[in-house]
Amino acid sequence: MVVGRWGIPSVAAGGGVDALLPTGRGHCVLVQKDSLLPTTRTLAAGPGSEPDPDAAISVRGLVKRYGDRAAVDGLDLDIRRGEIFALLGPNGAGKTTTVEVLEGYRKRDGGDVRVLGVDPARGGRRWRAQLGIVLQSGAGDSQLSVRELLKARASYYAEPRDPDEVMELVGLTAEAGARGRTLSGGQRRRLDVALGIVGRPRLLFLDEPTTGFDPEARRQFWALIRSLRDLGTTMLLTTHYLDEAEALADRVGVLARGQLAEVAVPAALGGRGTAPAVVSWTEDGVRRSAETATPTAFVRELAARFPGEVPDLTVARPTLEDVYLKMIGQVPEGGGTAAAVGRRGAERSQGVSS
C-alpha cells in the first residue's frame, strides 16, 4: 500500500460595467463586456472584504508564485456549503495550484484562505478527514480488490461510509472482488471517486473526473455527483469539459492568468442570459440569419411569410463554450501542461510543496 499525502493510504501515490447579474443567494456579479481580466467579481468575495465564515471555501487575495512568476495572482472566491462549483480555465491558468493550496498540499505566498473554517496551512488530521480528493491519476494498478481498497481507506476515518453502500453508489458492486488493475478506465475512475467519498467528506475536490469516460459513463457519473450533492456534499470540480460544468455546476468560475475573470451561474456567464439570439432559416435556397433580442416575435413574423414550416429554422443563443472561449482567448499562457502535470505527479507523493 502506498502512503500518500497526510499519511492516508493512497492508491496512487478594463472596460465599463455593463450589467449587475444576480448569481443566487445574495451574490451579484459585475459584468464587463470588453475586457478579459477581470470581467466579473463576486461582490461577496471582493478584494479587502473579510472571509465569509459560512462559506465552505473562502479565499481573499490568494497569491502563489513559482520563482518570480505568479501562478495565482490575487484570487478572491467564496464557495457555499452544499454547492457544486466548477473551476474552469485554460492550461496553465492556475486551477491546480489553487486547488492544491485549498487542499493544504501547497504553500501560498499571500492571502487569506479558509477551508471548512480552517486555514489549510494549519489544518490537522481532523480537518483533513473532512476532505475528499479525487486526483487526475487514480486507483491504477492495485493488487487489492475494490472492496479491500475501500475497507482499508474507510478504516482511517472516524465515521466512514459503509464500503458496500459506496460501491452501490458508484456502481461497482459487481466489481467488488475485482483487483484494481483489472478494471476498465471508467471503472477505475469510479473507484477513485469511491475512495474519495468513503470517508464521508463534507468537501470533495474532483480534478477532471471524467477524462477518458465514454458518453454513457459520463452521464452515470454526473448522476452520482448529483446524488452526492443531494447528500449535502460541497464539491469543487475542475474540468475542461464545458458541457460537464453546465450540467453539474451551480456556479462556474473562469480562471485566467491566475485571476478569476468571472464567477456566475452557467446560464449567465459572459452575458449569456441577455445575449441576442441568432435566428437562422433557408429562403429561396439561401441560408439566412439574423440577430434579435426578441426571437419569438421575429419567428412569428418569419412564419407569416411561409405557407407551412419555416425551412431549416433554428434559434440559438451563445453556448457556455462560446462565451468561455471568447473570455479566455485561444492561446494558453505558459503552455507546458504535460510538464506541469508530470512535475506535480512526482511532487504529490511527497507531502506539502512550496
Binding site for ligand ATP (CB under 6 A): 66, 71, 89, 91-97, 334, 336-337, 340, 343
CB 103 → ligand ATP: shortest distance, Å? 13
Nearer Cβ to ligand ATP (89/253): 89
- Residue 354 class from Cβ within 10 Å (0-12 exposed, 13-18 middle, 19+ buried)? exposed
Q: Measured in whole angstroms, how far is the alpha carbon of residue 32 from the centre of its chain?
A: 23
CB 98 → ligand ATP: shortest distance, Å? 7
Which residues, listed in sequence order, are joined to residue 231 by a DSSP beta bridge? none
CB 354 → ligand ATP: shortest distance, Å? 9
- Name the nearest CA neighbour of 294 among 309, 312, 315: 315
CB 92 → ligand ATP: shortest distance, Å? 4
CB 314 → ligand ATP: shortest distance, Å? 33
CB 62 → ligand ATP: shortest distance, Å? 12
Nearer Cβ to ligand ATP (125/343): 343
Q: Is 53 left (phi over 0), alpha (psi -120 to 50) or beta?
A: alpha
Which residues, listed in sequence order, are joined to residue 17 by a DSSP beta bridge? 32
Dig out the grid coordinates for 135 from the structure: 486526483
Nearer Cβ to ligand ATP (91/182): 91
Nearer Cβ to ligand ATP (21/135): 135
Those residues with Cβ within 8 angstroms of residue 190's Cβ, 6 or more apart along the chain or in another chain: 170, 171, 172, 221, 224
CB 261 → ligand ATP: shortest distance, Å? 13
Nearer Cβ to ligand ATP (85/281): 85
Nearer Cβ to ligand ATP (18/109): 109
The two beta strands, 286-292 and 259-264, are: unpaired
